[in-house]
């Protein structure tokens, strides 16, 4: 069993991105990222601080638009329009989830697709489905980069994606299809999840449920990517996989924390640098 170390890989990527950022600086360009943070969700605030710190490391100018949870949808749309028009901002990130009175789809659709470094705009989603270049959601993109770094080629593998969200599961499925894997995608209404995961060479899970994937659900030698982030009653951060029992059966597995999480932020930085290069 070998750990897929996302922390080490993300650190290497950040070093490369800092060099690319310095090259842009020499041309008079400073990569810029604008983050919209609505409300006081603790997890969202933590993620935004991590992204802000990562931007500083790689030479990306970042600005955070903090707004109260009572803000109107119209006001958020006004701010997005302003950011879209700002030539010094290359990427726009709306931290999800948004308050219930805000239509998330309308907010995402308002972002200029050329600045959609989260890869959530329907324009970029469509390009991903069609196998064309565009911005790809950072978490599934990070998974693909992690696989590539360890010379794991999805081509011809039987892959099972557990979780069908627009942010992770669906784009993960499309990236794997584009890489010529045979993909099985499961969700909350899937009957007998074990039947699907047991036959998979590659299992990727991102649901948010502690110990969803157990030892008996994984075949010997499988590759397991755990995207889940959960906090136990004892305050420990764990994924969706029963790591202690599942890991000995795997050829490769991601730890939580230190696996996919750092790669998500690294891919956000990379998308922002690419947007700056495309100015």
**Residues marked as catalytic:** 51, 95, 118
39 DSSP assignment:
S
**Of 70, 68, 66, 117, nearest in space to 89 by CA:** 117
**Of 98, 95, 92, nearest in space to 117 by CA:** 92
**H helices present in the chain, as ranges:** 6-26, 42-58, 73-85, 104-110, 122-129, 138-149, 169-178, 193-197, 243-246, 260-277
**Residues 10 and 264: beta-carbon distance below 8 Å:** no
Element (H, E) at 231: strand 230-231
């Amino acid at each position: 069993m070998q750990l897929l170390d996302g922390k080490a890989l993300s650190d290497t990527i950040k070093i490369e991105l800092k060099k690319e950022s310095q090259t842009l600086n020499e041309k008079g360009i400073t990569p810029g990222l604008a983050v919209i943070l609505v409300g006081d969700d603790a997890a969202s605030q933590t993620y935004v601080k991590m992204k802000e710190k990562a931007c500083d490391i790689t030479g990306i100018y970042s600005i955070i638009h903090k707004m109260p949870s009572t803000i109107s949808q119209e006001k958020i749309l006004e701010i997005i329009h302003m950011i879209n028009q700002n030539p010094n901002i290359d990427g726009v990130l709306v931290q999800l989830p948004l308050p219930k009175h805000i239509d998330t789809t309308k907010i995402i659709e308002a972002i200029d697709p050329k600045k959609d470094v989260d890869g959530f705009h329907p324009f970029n989603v469509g390009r991903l489905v069609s196998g064309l270049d565009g911005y790809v959601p950072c978490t599934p993109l990070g998974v693909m980069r992690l696989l590539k770094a360890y010379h794991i080629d999805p081509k011809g593998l039987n892959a099972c994606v557990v979780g069908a969200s627009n942010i992770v599961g669906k784009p993960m499925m499309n990236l794997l299809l584009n890489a010529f894997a045979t993909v099985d995608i499961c969700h909350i209404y899937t009957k007998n999840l074990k039947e699907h995961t047991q036959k998979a060479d590659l299992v990727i899970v991102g649901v948010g449920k502690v110990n969803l994937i157990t030892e008996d659900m994984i075949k010997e030698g499988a590759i397991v990517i755990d995207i889940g982030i959960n906090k136990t009653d004892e305050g420990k951060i764990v994924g969706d996989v029963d790591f202690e029992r599942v890991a000995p059966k795997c050829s490769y597995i991601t730890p939580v924390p230190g696996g996919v999480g750092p790669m998500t932020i690294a891919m956000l930085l990379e998308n922002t640098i690419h947007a700056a290069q495309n100015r």
